[in-house]
Structure 1
Amino acid sequence: MAAKFLAGDSIQPYPEQLPEKHSVPVPGTKRPGQTAHYIHGIWGFLDPTKHSIRVVPDIFTSGIAKGRDRPFLGHRPVVSKQPLKFANHYEWQTYGQVDIRRRNIGSALTHLFNTGAVGGGDLPTVGLWSINRPEWQIIDIGLTSYKKVGVSLYDTLGKDSVEHIINHAELTIIFSTLDHIPALLKMAPQIPVLKMIVSIDPLSPEISKVFTEWGQIHNIVVKDLSEIEALGQANLIEPIPCLPSDIASIVYTSGTTNMPKGVVTTHGQFASGVVTNLLGLEMTEDSSVFSYLPLAHIYGRINEMASCAIGARIGFFTGDPLRLIEDCQILKPAFFPSVPRVLNRIYQAAMAAADVPGVKGDLFRKAYQAKVEKFRTTGDNTHWFWDKLVFRKIRAVLGGNIMMMSSGAAPLSADVVNFLNVAFSCYFAEGVYGMTETCGVGSRSFKGDATAAGTVGPPQSSNMMKLVDVPSMGYTSEDLPCPRGELHVRGANCFSRYYKDEKTTAETVDDEGWVRTGDVAEIDAKGRFRIIDRVKNIIKLAQGEYVALEKIENVYSTCPAVMQLYIHGDSLQSFLAGIIVPDPAQLAPIASKIYGKKIAPEDTDTLKAACTDPQVNKHILGMLTQEGKKAALKGFESLKRIHVTLDPFGTEDNTMTPTMKIRRKDAYNKFKKEFDAMYALGEPKL
Structure 2
Amino acid sequence: MPIPDTLPVPYPPDADYSRQSFEVPGTRKPGQTGHYRNSAFPFLTLSSPDTFVNLVEFFDSGKRRVPGNAPLLGRRPLLSANPLTYASHYEWISWETADIRRQYIGSGLHHLFASGVVGGGPMRSLGIYSGNCPEWQLVDLAAQAYEFVSVPLYDTLGKDTVEYILNHTESTLIAVAPQHVTTILKLSSKLPLIKAIVVMSELPQESRKIYEAWGAQVGIKIYDLSQVEEIGKANLKKPVYPPSDAIASICYTSGTTGNPKGVVMTHGMMANAVHAQAFGHNNDDIPVSICFLPLAHCYGRVAELTVLARGGSLGYWTGDPLRLLEDIQILKPNIFPAVPRILNRIYQAGMSAAQLPGIKGALFRRALDVKLQRLATTGQTTHPLWDRLVFKKIAAVLGGNVKMIPSGSAPMSAAAINFLKVATGAEIVEGYGSTENVATASKVWWSDKDSAGRVGAPQANTEFKLVDVPSMSYFATDKPYPRGEICVRGDHCFKEYYKDPENTKSTVDADGWQHSGDVGEVDECGRFRIIDRVKNIMKLAQGEYVALERVESLYSACPIVAQLYVHGDSLQSYLVGLVFPDPIQLAALAGRVWGVDVAPTDAATLDKAAADPKVRDEVLKALDKQARSAGLNGFETLKRIHLSNDLCTIDNNCLTPTLKMKRKEVYGKFKAELDSLYALGEPTKSRPTKL
TM bin, normalised by shorter chain, reads: over 0.9
Counterpart in the other structure of 1:466 = 465
Counterpart in the other structure of 1:496 = 495
Alignment pair present for 1:607 and 2:606: yes
What SS does the aligned partner of 2:336 have?
strand
Q: CA deviation at 1:522?
A: 0.9
Q: Percent identity?
A: 49
Distance 1:569 1:630 in 2: 22
Distance 1:208 1:681 in 2: 60
Q: CA deviation at 1:373?
A: 0.3
Contact preservation (8 Å) 1:249, 1:264: yes
Alignment pair present for 1:93 and 2:93: yes
Alignment pair present for 1:572 and 2:587: no
- What one-letter code is carried by the residue in structure 2 that aligns with 1:176? V
Counterpart in the other structure of 1:84 = 84
1:39 is aligned, of 37, 40, 50, to 37
Distance 1:517 1:41 in 2: 22
Distance 2:212 2:339 in 1: 40
Match runs of 1:72-221 below 5 Å: 72-221=72-221
Q: CA deviation at 1:99?
A: 0.5
What SS does the aligned partner of 2:645 have?
coil
CA deviation map 1:124-162 (0-9, x unaligned):
100101111100000000000000000011111111111
Calculate the TM-score normalised by the size of structure 2: 0.96
Distance 2:321 2:91 in 1: 20
Counterpart in the other structure of 2:689 = none
Counterpart in the other structure of 2:527 = 528
Q: CA deviation at 1:415?
A: 1.9
Contact preservation (8 Å) 1:282, 1:404: no
Counterpart in the other structure of 1:71 = 71
CA RMSD of aligned residues (A): 1.6
Distance 1:538 1:215 in 2: 48
Contact preservation (8 Å) 1:62, 1:310: yes
Q: CA deviation at 1:532?
A: 1.1
- What one-letter code is carried by the residue in structure 2 that aligns with 1:416? A
Distance 1:328 1:213 in 2: 41
Contact preservation (8 Å) 2:412, 2:554: no
Counterpart in the other structure of 1:13 = 10
Q: CA deviation at 1:206?
A: 1.1
What SS does the aligned partner of 1:257 have?
coil
Distance 2:264 2:324 in 1: 32
Distance 1:255 1:89 in 2: 37
Counterpart in the other structure of 2:581 = 582
312-321 or 625-634, which deviates more: 625-634
What SS does the aligned partner of 2:458 have?
coil
- What one-letter code is carried by the residue in structure 2 that aligns with 1:305? L
- What one-letter code is carried by the residue in structure 2 that aligns with 1:648? L
Ranges in structure 1 where 5+ consecutive residues have no aligned partner = none
Counterpart in the other structure of 1:363 = 363
Distance 2:89 2:231 in 1: 32
Distance 1:7 1:34 in 2: 36
Q: CA deviation at 1:382?
A: 1.3
Distance 1:558 1:419 in 2: 12
Distance 2:42 2:629 in 1: 35
Distance 2:61 2:499 in 1: 34
Distance 1:152 1:8 in 2: 30
CA deviation map 1:455-477 (0-9, x unaligned):
11111111111110011111110
Counterpart in the other structure of 2:23 = 25
Contact preservation (8 Å) 1:101, 1:229: yes
What SS does the aligned partner of 1:446 have?
coil
Distance 1:105 1:402 in 2: 34
Distance 2:674 2:535 in 1: 22
Q: CA deviation at 1:8?
A: 3.9
Contact preservation (8 Å) 2:281, 2:446: no
Distance 1:15 1:384 in 2: 28
Distance 1:160 1:364 in 2: 50
Calculate the TM-score normalised by the size of structure 1: 0.97
What SS does the aligned partner of 1:418 have?
helix
CA deviation map 1:1-52 (0-9, x unaligned):
xxxx956424232356652112111111111000111111211421333234
Alignment pair present for 1:278 and 2:275: no
Counterpart in the other structure of 1:413 = 413
Q: CA deviation at 1:620?
A: 1.6
Counterpart in the other structure of 1:651 = 650
Distance 2:284 2:71 in 1: 13
CA deviation map 1:426-457 (0-9, x unaligned):
1111x210100000111101111121111111
Match runs of 1:332-481 below 5 Å: 332-353=332-353, 355-429=355-429, 431-481=430-480
Contact preservation (8 Å) 2:38, 2:457: yes
What SS does the aligned partner of 2:505 have?
helix
Alignment pair present for 1:266 and 2:266: yes
412-421 or 313-322, which deviates more: 412-421
What SS does the aligned partner of 2:127 have?
strand
- What one-letter code is carried by the residue in structure 2 that aligns with 1:607? L
Cα separation, partners in 2 of 1:283 and 1:217, compared to 1, 3 Å: farther
Match runs of 1:510-525 below 5 Å: 510-525=509-524
What SS does the aligned partner of 2:521 have?
strand
Cα separation, partners in 2 of 1:354 and 1:86, compared to 1, 3 Å: farther
Contact preservation (8 Å) 1:128, 1:152: yes
Distance 1:463 1:343 in 2: 27
- What one-letter code is carried by the residue in structure 2 that aligns with 1:14? Y
Q: CA deviation at 1:347?
A: 1.7
Distance 1:74 1:285 in 2: 19
What SS does the aligned partner of 1:679 have?
helix
Counterpart in the other structure of 2:688 = none
Contact preservation (8 Å) 2:344, 2:557: no
60-69 or 188-197, which deviates more: 60-69
Q: CA deviation at 1:282?
A: 4.5
Distance 2:514 2:342 in 1: 29
Q: CA deviation at 1:112?
A: 1.2
- What one-letter code is carried by the residue in structure 2 that aligns with 1:664? R
CA deviation map 1:567-590 (0-9, x unaligned):
111123332111011122322322
Distance 2:310 2:547 in 1: 42
CA deviation map 1:62-120 (0-9, x unaligned):
11112222110010001112211111100011110000100001111111111211111
- What one-letter code is carried by the residue in structure 2 that aligns with 1:9? T
343-352 or 608-617, which deviates more: 343-352
What SS does the aligned partner of 2:106 have?
helix
What SS does the aligned partner of 1:337 have?
coil
What SS does the aligned partner of 1:165 have?
helix
Distance 1:353 1:481 in 2: 39
Distance 1:52 1:631 in 2: 42
Ranges in structure 2 where 5+ consecutive residues have no aligned partner = 686-691
Counterpart in the other structure of 1:58 = 57
- What one-letter code is carried by the residue in structure 2 that aligns with 1:574? S
